[in-house]
Amino acid sequence: MSKAPEFRRKLIVVVKGYPRLSETFIAQELLGLERAGIELAIVSLRHPTDLTHHAVNDEIKAAVTYLPEYIHRSPLRTLRGLISSARMPGFTQACRQFLADLRKDFSRNRVRRFCQAAVLANEWPEGAQWLHAHFIHTPASVACYASIIRSIPWTVSAHAKDIWTSPDWELRDKLATARWAVTCTQVGHHHLQSLATDASTVHLSYHGLDLERFPVFDRPESHADGQAHDNPVVILSVGRAVEKKGFDVLIAALALLPSTLSWRFVHIGGGAELPRLKALATQAKINERITWLGATDQKEVLANYQLADVFVLACRIGADGDRDGLPNVLVEAASQGLACVSTRVSGIPEFFNDNNGLLVEPEDADMLATALNQVLESPALRRRLGKAAEAKVRSEFDYRNSINQLVDLFDSEWQSTRK
């Protein structure tokens, strides 16, 4: 008797842009799924804009397809996609869904997503049986339309901005058509469950870290307490210079620290607000204490975690509702034994408490300055907070837990289709 062929598990993953320096958690997940035996095809709505990328991206074997970023620049490819998709059984239903969405969101972006879905349906990677979107806003729109056109199931990973800047009607509709959704904070989980027809289809899954890339660091004992000018306390922050990161509040807090206190601040990250932040630092007369490193890869970020004494992130809710979930950089910093100071926004209090970090209310530069002053002046407090935070990372935030959960979810679906 001949041996039955091994069942092929091939997954299309739709992302907004690939690769991105700010989305190491996605690259980490993709690599984890490949290592678990799932074949991937990556479909990106945009070409990369970062000048470099992380080493983890080089380890991912999946081919990347870039959909037309602007329809008017790829008219023939788009037309081929629409003509081909029109012959597929689900095209009429997909058009109905698109028109219903367009009535609620009359925008070029909506039209672009439908056209991208048609191109994806036409250029479908060979052997793919499942469609998964990272982010429940625009990537999920493309995945949802393509899923209907091809009559292929789809699922979604929701994160932060995509949840909080999407209207409830759209989240509700997408959750109703997706087989299941995962999200990475309790606050996001509760919100999506409240909108889902079946709350049990929404799962909580923290990203965690690949602890091999963030190994135990034997942090040398620091005696810097801000009193010696030749031994400043090093404060680090990592994040794009955008509204929700609250770097303007952080600059204001740094300016409120006692003038006699010896500290140095290092920022890693790009972003449109960098010129304004540098101007604020100059106005506050603290620019000479600040080093702006710009966007860097994970290796250099790790080196700076190990050189720093304190990590700070002044997260806030933006004017449009945008906010972080549980920023990976906070978990990364904690993995290196760094004392962390942040804000009570979204999923951050799900990791940090009074025993392993200092949290203040967002937008409050005075309280942030007070918390920073505490850790700058006390090496003992920094050691205690850093050790407690690292212990939590290593006991509860191994990314393999999330990968195993995702693999189980995909496998249960694939197995059900084979019965």
- Check pLDDT > 60 for residue 297: yes
- Check pLDDT > 50 for residue 176: yes
- Check pLDDT > 70 for residue 7: no
| Alpha carbons 13 and 269: distance in angstroms, whole number | 26
pLDDT confidence bin for 418, thresholds 50/70/90: low
Could you give the dihedral angle defined by the CA atoms of residues 141, 143, 147 and 149, in that order, rounded to the nearest 10 degrees?
70
343-392 confidence digits (pLDDT tens)? 999 999 999 999 999 999 999 999 999 999 999 999 999 999 999 999 99
Helix 168-177 to helix 186-195 angle (10° resolution) is 80
- Check pLDDT > 60 for residue 3: no
Average pLDDT over residues 87-108: 97
pTM to 2 decimals?
0.91
Average pLDDT over residues 128-154: 97
| Alpha carbons 85 and 316: distance in angstroms, whole number | 43
294 pairs with which residues across the strands?
A: 268
| Alpha carbons 285 and 124: distance in angstroms, whole number | 56
Arithmetic mean of pLDDT over the chain: 95
- Check pLDDT > 80 for residue 154: yes
Average pLDDT over residues 393-405: 95
| Alpha carbons 221 and 173: distance in angstroms, whole number | 53
- Check pLDDT > 80 for residue 258: yes
pLDDT at residue 8 in the model = 60
259-296 confidence digits (pLDDT tens)? 999 999 999 999 999 999 999 999 999 999 999 999 99
User: 228-232, 291-295, 411-415: which range is least confident on average?
Assistant: 411-415
197 pairs with which residues across the strands?
A: none
pLDDT at residue 267 in the model = 98
Domains of the chain by start residue, with CATH: 10-208+398-418 (3.40.50.2000), 233-396 (3.40.50.2000)
- Check pLDDT > 60 for residue 250: yes
Phi/psi at 397 (5° precision): -125, 40
| Alpha carbons 178 and 175: distance in angstroms, whole number | 5
Instruction: Note if the bond before 362 is cis, omega within 30 degrees.
Output: no
35-65 confidence digits (pLDDT tens)? 999 999 999 999 998 888 888 999 999 999 9
